[in-house]
Amino acid sequence: MSTGQRTGSIEVRHLRAFLAIADEGSVTRAATRLRVTQPVVSRTLAALERHLGVRLVDRSTHHLALTSEGVAFLDKAAAAVAAFDEALDPGRLRGWPLRLGHAWSAFGPYTTPLLRTWQQRHPETPLELLRIDDRTAGLTRGEVDAALLRGPVNTPGLVTEVLFTEVRVAAVAADGPLAARTSLSLADLTGGAVVLNTVSGATTLDLWPPDARPAATLTVANTDDWLTAIAAGRGCGVSGNSTAQMHPHAGVTYVPLDDAPPLPVLLARRDGPGHPALPRLAELAREIVARERPMRP
C-alpha cells in the first residue's frame, strides 16, 4: 500500500484501507486488494476510527457493513483520495483536463455542440465527458469536476444551475399496445409495472399522485438495464426527451407524456474552489443552449 501525505497521525493509506473495506465488504478481501496482510488492514482501520472518534465499520455481523458514520464518511474519503491521486498524476500536469460527469444523456441535443465548441476555444484544456452511474455522476466522490444532472438535486455541498428543461416521455416496449399511441398520460402507465433506475435516475413514484401510483415497480441500476427491461416487456419507464435522442433502442418506443412536469437539466459543481475552467464551462453551456434551442422544434 502506498503511503501519502500526513494529516496529523492519519495518512492517505488509512483512507485507502477504509475505501477498500467498503468496496469489498471484507477485511480479508481488502487486504488482498491492497497487497498487505489482514492484521495490517485491521490496525489501519482502527487507527482511522480512533482519530475520528467514531466507528466506521460494524464488525458485529458476519458480513462487514458501514455504520451511519461510515456511510457519511465514504464520499469524503473517496473525494480526498481522488484529489490526492489527481494532483500527483504526471500525465495531467501539462494539460489539466476538465472532467464533466453525467449519469445518462449528457447534455442532450447540445452535447456535440458543447464538445466541439469547447475544443475550438480551449484546446489547452481537454474536456472529458464521463458517464458515471451515480445520482451525482461522481461529483460528490471527487471523480469529476462538474456534472450534468437531471431532476431535483438536494445533495449537501453542491451548487447547481438550471440550464434548460426538457419534456418527459414514456418509454414502452416497441411491440406493446402503448407503442401505437401518439401520446400518453401518467395514468396510462399505472396498469403495469414501472421500471425505475434507483441509482442514477430522476423518476420516482412521487411523479404520480399518492392515490394513483403504478401497480408495481421494477428497480434497476443504470440506463442500459432500464432499456433492456422495457424492451423485454417487463414494464414501462419515464425519462426526459434527451433519452429518446441519445439512447435509441430497437425494442423501445418513446411516446410523449401529456401531463408530466418538465425535467430540469442542471450543471452542478462542488461548493468551494474547483477547476479554474469551471466558469468558462458554465458560460459556454448557457451560450450553447441560447444559440441552439431556437433552431430545434
293: left (phi over 0), alpha (psi -120 to 50) or beta: alpha
| Backbone φ and ψ of 85, nearest 5° | -65, -40
pTM: 0.71
The DSSP bridge partners found for residue 66 are: 57
pLDDT of residue 62: 64
Output the CATH code of domain 168-261: 3.40.190.10
pLDDT of residue 59: 79
Taking the C-alpha atoms of residue 146 and residue 238, their distance in angstroms, rounded to an integer, is 25
Domain ranges in the chain are 6-87, 90-165+264-295, 168-261
Q: What are the angstrom distances between the C-alpha of 255 and each of 87, 158, 233?
A: 46, 33, 15
Of 227, 251, 221, which is closest to residue 239 (Cα–Cα)?
227
pLDDT of residue 274: 85
| Domain 168-261 in the same topology as domain 90-165+264-295 | yes
pLDDT of residue 294: 56
pLDDT of residue 92: 54
Eight-state DSSP code of residue 153: -
Mean pLDDT split into 10-residue runs, the chain, 297 residues:
50 90 88 90 91 88 82 86 72 73 95 96 94 92 94 90 97 97 97 95 95 95 96 97 95 97 96 90 96 62
pLDDT of residue 17: 92
User: Of the CATH numbers 2.40.160.20, 3.40.50.300, 3.40.50.450, 1.10.10.10, which one belongs to the domain with range 6-87?
Assistant: 1.10.10.10
Output the CATH code of domain 90-165+264-295: 3.40.190.10
